[in-house]
């Protein structure tokens, strides 16, 4: 029997998980990451994002997991696929990828009640220097955030590490969407901001599980949500990129649950 009541919650409402819980998160995270590894060969010019989602839906099932997004607040797909100036929550469709399109693919699976949530960037066809740089800075910003994860640091330290890195490259961090606690639920406290002041926010403790998923724009940070009530785009139509890992705080640092089994987190091309 799994004891649903084991562990405690901080005064900020953040659940503290137990030693045995990391293994469940690793299993779920590895499946989500494996699916993103497999997706690479399905991304090409002329391919539709709907066909990529069909493949993801099939693999989620074949690997013995459940999609966390199908049925979530009415969402009907196994992934979010966000192309070019789409910031996040792009809905898979019959629209074909064009040469030079960049896209984020975000998959969340549930395995034995544990959630694994991860996303990466892909490219269809030829990559321009500008988009390559956007994706590299976004990836490296996520890793700077992850490097700030250890007991005694704060969530503000994570946000500050990401924001200062991104802005030093004259790009902008999206404020309208954030990372989130996860574990036995999809979205839990805290909101993991990708900007902020060093030393602000709740203190990190061993046993906290959450995502870090910075969205970075080449232009301004403002976004708007389209009439479909999901698709978030940059207001200035500038290109946007995102990478996401699910992580846990350990006694002396961080455990990344969604590492790529094939070592393909970034870059996924070339």
Residues that bind ligand MF3 (CB under 6 A): 69, 72-73, 75, 80, 89, 106, 108, 117, 211, 213, 230, 244
Residue 165 or 209 with smaller CB distance to Co ion: 209
Residue 44: which of ligand MF3, Co ion, none does it interact with, CB under 5 to 8 A by kind?
Answer: none
Residue 69 or 217 with smaller CB distance to ligand MF3: 69
Site residues, Co ion (CB under 5 A): 106, 117, 119, 211, 244
Residue 75: which of ligand MF3, Co ion, none does it interact with, CB under 5 to 8 A by kind?
Answer: ligand MF3
Angle between helices 21-39 and 49-62 (to 10 degrees): 140
Least separation in angstroms between CB 86 and ligand MF3: 12
Residue 89: which of Co ion, ligand MF3, none does it interact with, CB under 5 to 8 A by kind?
Answer: ligand MF3
Please tell me the total number of residues recorded for the chain in this structure. 270
Residue 72: which of Co ion, ligand MF3, none does it interact with, CB under 5 to 8 A by kind?
Answer: ligand MF3
Q: Are 140 and 171 in contact (CB under 8 A)?
A: no
Q: Are 126 and 100 in contact (CB under 8 A)?
A: yes
Closest CA to 43 of 110, 98, 85: 98
Least separation in angstroms between CB 226 and Co ion: 19
Strand 254-256 relative to strand 245-249: parallel, antiparallel, unpaired? antiparallel
Residue 80 or 204 with smaller CB distance to Co ion: 80
Residues in contact with 62: Cβ distance below 8 Å, sequence separation at least 6, in sequence order: none
Q: Check residue 258 and report its DSSP letter.
A: T
């Amino acid at each position: 029997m799994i004891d649903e009541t084991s562990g405690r919650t901080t005064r900020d409402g953040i659940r503290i998980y137990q030693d045995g819980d990391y293994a469940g998160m690793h299993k779920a995270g590895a499946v989500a990451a494996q699916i993103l590894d497999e997706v690479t060969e399905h991304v090409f010019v002329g391919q539709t994002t709907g066909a990529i989602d069909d493949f993801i839906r099939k693999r989620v099932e074949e690997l013995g997991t459940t999609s966390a997004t199908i049925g979530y607040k009415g969402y009907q797909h196994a992934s979010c696929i966000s192309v070019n100036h789409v910031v996040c929550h792009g809905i898979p469709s019959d629209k074909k990828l064009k040469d030079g399109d960049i896209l984020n693919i975000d998959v969340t699976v549930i395995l034995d009640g544990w959630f694994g949530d991860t996303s990466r960037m892909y490219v269809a066809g030829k990559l321009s220097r500008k988009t390559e740089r956007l994706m590299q800075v976004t990836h490296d910003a996520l890793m700077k955030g992850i490097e700030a994860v250890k007991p005694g640091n704060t969530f503000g330290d994570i946000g500050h590490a990401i924001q200062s890195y991104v802005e030093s490259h004259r790009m902008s961090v999206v404020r309208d969407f954030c990372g989130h606690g996860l574990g036995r639920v999809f979205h839990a406290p805290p909101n993991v901001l990708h900007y902020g002041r060093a030393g602000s926010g709740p203190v990190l403790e061993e046993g906290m599980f959450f995502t870090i998923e910075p969205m970075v724009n080449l232009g301004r940070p403002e976004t708007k949500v389209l009439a479909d009530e999901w698709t978030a785009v940059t207001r200035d139509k500038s290109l946007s990129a995102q990478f996401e890992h699910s992580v846990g705080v350990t006694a002396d640092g961080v455990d990344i649950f969604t590492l790529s089994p094939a070592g393909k987190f970034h870059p996924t091309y070339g």
